[in-house]
Structure formats: C-alpha cells, structure tokens
Amino acid sequence: MILKLKKDCLSKIAEREKYSTLVLDTLIQLSLSKSKNLERRLNLLAEEATSELNKVCGSKLWESLGFVFLDQLENKDKVAKANFYYGQLLLIKEIKLSCS
C-alpha cells in the first residue's frame, strides 16, 4: 500500500516536473543517504565532545549539572575547553532537532 502511494506520488510529480519516476526515486535515495551520513557524522562529533568533556571534568557529573559544573573547574584553560565542547554538544542537538 505504502509503495503504491509512493509510486503514485512520484508519477504525479514526474508528470508535472517532466522527470521520470526513476530520476525522482534516485534523488530521494540520494537525499536519504545524505541525511543518514549527516546523522552518522553528528553522532561521531557528539561522542568526541562527550569523551573530551569526561576527560576535562574527570567525571560524568557535567551531564546532569551542565554549565554550573563547568564553571567550577579549577583553571581557566579547563573551563574554556569544557565550554567549547559543551557548546559543540548543544549545537549538535540543535542541528538534530532541526533536521528531524
């Protein structure tokens, strides 16, 4: 049923835009591939940022306390590094929300 609806939808778009359904199906597959690749890359960046935050903070306590915990680190270099990676995580979450 869903495949028939997809095929019918592609046929209507193809007629209107003067494309073949094969071209439209290929474009959709490429788009899906790109979004999966983006998600994979964002997950890798998030893992790296999380790992670096765990190293800088010495624990996973920052996950529940956020900026409050980061501001209490002992030196400015650690605070700066932690804020950078925490900001990176927030940006990744924002990108994922806007893409879903």
Give tens-digit pLDDT for 21-70: 666 566 666 676 777 888 899 999 999 999 999 998 888 877 887 777 77
Q: Are 70 and 89 in contact (CB under 8 A)?
A: no
Q: How far apart are CA 53 and CA 4, in angstroms?
A: 48
Structure-model confidence comparison of residues 71 and 77, the more confident one:
77
Give the length of the chain: 100
Report the pLDDT value the prediction gives residue 47, as an integer from 0 to 100. 96
pLDDT band at 10, cuts 50/70/90? low
Query: For the chain, first and last CA: distance in Å?
Result: 24
Q: How far apart are CA 47 and CA 41, in angstroms?
A: 10
